[in-house]
Amino acid sequence: MGMGSGSQPVVDPTVGRVPPPGRVEEEVTAVAYGARTVVRPQGDRSGAWPPDQEILRLERPEDVQELRALVDRYRAESAGARVIVGIVGEPGVGKSTLAEELVEDLGDDGVLVPLDGFHLSNRILETLVARGRKGAPDTFDACGFVQLVHRLRRQTEEVVYAPEYRGDVDEPVAGAIEIPRSTPVVVLEGSYLLLDQHPWTEVRRCLDAAWYVVVDDEVRLARLAGRHQALGLYPAAGRRWAQCQAEDNARLVRRTRDRAHLLIVTS
């Protein structure tokens, strides 16, 4: 389904609507999806987007052509202003992979800023007796992240630097991501971008689009368990972590799904 010059993208009639929050996930995956470009709801930066969500099916997180087409449309609508897209989802859904693939496809036109760079240091977490809950909302420098998002939205500084989480040291590294003022697209990625709590609510107001990523729960939990086994946990311990602490975070994130305007279902 092409988009000619000056034409509007067409919504595939097989694209479904998201069921109300609280409905079982199977009802989402039962929709007859169409891997087509969907029309972006014409919201504004106040966060007052329409309640309906479009659904887009991707066979793999690496298949970002449809998402690139959406970003290109946002840019055309922005009249030269920077476009900021937020990619959200529960732990283990593959949002990091999707965000990385999209930014790679954008080349010099896009920069990825993951929320993970705003993890509190392990020393601070130990002081707060919160090391075992690393990944929960209060284990991030939320105010620092919000301030960065506002700076990216204003686009008045020649360059903004953001921290980056480094898995090899299990710590964030300051000033590791460079975002020049000329960068037309910034992709934010993280679980809590749509959280309806202070100060997280400020993030949504700065977004041009918010995409929520979904994958089958068995796949998601297996990824989480494997991720923590790779860090040295025994398989049983990795599964327990995925089903307990990570699931507490996942339930919190899941309640924000209806605040996104596009639901991306991956395999």
Going by C-alpha positions, the residue among 257, 188, 267 that lies closest to residue 24 is 257
Number of other residues whose CB lies within 10 A of the CB of residue 168: 5
To the question of domain 27-34+53-266 being in CATH 3.40.50.300, the answer is: yes
Higher pLDDT, 72 or 39: 72
The average pLDDT across 81-94 equals 94
Query: In this structure, are strands 185-189 and 110-114 parallel, antiparallel, or unpaired?
Result: parallel
Please write down the long-range contacts of 157-161, taking CB distance under 8 Å and 24 or more positions apart: 157/181
Any idea what the Cα angle at residue 266 is, between residues 118 and 45, rounded to 5°? 50
Number of other residues whose CB lies within 10 A of the CB of residue 175: 10
In tens, the pLDDT along 9-35 reads 333 333 333 333 333 233 333 332 233
At residue 15, the pLDDT reads: 34
pLDDT-derived band at 122, boundaries 50, 70, 90: very high
Residue 106 one-letter amino acid? L
**Scanning the structure block, which residue is given the tokens 């705003």?**
118
Q: How far apart are CA 31 and CA 213, in angstroms?
A: 15
* Helix (DSSP H) and strand (DSSP E) numbers for the chain: 9, 8
Q: How far apart are CA 42 and CA 49, in angstroms?
A: 7
Domain boundaries, the chain: 27-34+53-266
pTM given for the model: 0.78
Kindly state the tokens that stand for 32: 């007859």
In tens, the pLDDT along 164-180 reads 999 888 899 999 999 99
